[in-house]
Amino acid sequence: MEKISTIIADGNEIFRLGLRSILSQHHCDVISETDNGALVLSAFENVRPQLCVLSFNLPEISGIHLANKLVEKFPDARVLILADDSKEETLNDFLASGAQGLLMKSAHRIELIDAASKVAEGDTYLGKIYSKMMTREYRKLTAYRKSKKTITRREREVLYLLIQGNTSTEIASKLFISPRTVDKHRTNLLKKLNLKNTASLVRFALENKNNLEHM
């Protein structure tokens, strides 16, 4: 199998050497390595590797910003980002970048090898933990979109009055319906939005106040 020409960038020498050792044993030819993100652009231009493996946090310039610059200048660049954490912000930064792969530094070497191979081939790769996060967010979004289609005009009115601090009796009076009907609308909203209680319902309404008209 032909070796994958690879550039590595990480600020920690021990980690960088370990990374080089693992990749070199499995179909990668590490032709350049650096501890400084600012040097990657010139290195890439000189050797045009098939794969760049960059740490999320690098001296001078972050791996994410570097990925953006690489792909902007070299559209065929293949970039795998190695991150220290599994924060939602890290995933969002990756999704907004031009990188094709995201993996935790603590991932097993087999997953690293798999990620490197797939990204070099032009595929997108998300590490297991990030893939689970994406699945969870997708399910939440799907549930939210479904709920938007089923919320009635009257239920929106109840939501508006709830976030204004009105009681069921006060809402009933303002909408010319019975308190029992208000409670029924509130129960329906909890089910549709998959929420547990009135407090969470009010919090949801406040967080999505600008979107209530479109629900």
State residue 24's pLDDT score: 93
State residue 213's pLDDT score: 60
Q: For 139-162, write each residue's pLDDT tens digit.
A: 766 666 665 556 888 988 898 888
Cβ atoms within 10 Å, residue 102 = 29
State residue 42's pLDDT score: 87
CATH number for the 4-132 domain, one of 1.10.3720.10, 3.40.50.2300, 3.40.50.10680, 3.30.420.40?
Answer: 3.40.50.2300
CA distance 160 to 215: 12
The CATH architecture to which 141-214 belongs is: Orthogonal Bundle (1.10)
State residue 149's pLDDT score: 54
In this model, does residue 8 exceed pLDDT 90? yes
Helix (H, G, I), strand (E, B) or coil at 48: coil
Measure Cα distances from 108 to 103, 114, 116, 128, 161 in Å.
10, 10, 13, 10, 52
State residue 1's pLDDT score: 65
Q: For 29-42, write each residue's pLDDT tens digit.
A: 999 998 888 888 88
Q: What average pLDDT does the structure give for the chain?
A: 86
Domain ranges in the chain?
4-132, 141-214
4-132 shares its CATH topology with 141-214: no
The structure's pTM equals 0.66
Q: For 60-86, write each residue's pLDDT tens digit.
A: 788 888 998 898 889 889 999 999 998
State residue 103's pLDDT score: 95
100 confidence band (pLDDT: 50, 70, 90): very high
In this model, does residue 210 exceed pLDDT 70? no
Residues in CB range of 82: below 8 A, 6 or more apart: 10, 19, 53, 54, 55, 56, 63, 103, 104, 105
State residue 53's pLDDT score: 96
State residue 25's pLDDT score: 92
State residue 125's pLDDT score: 93
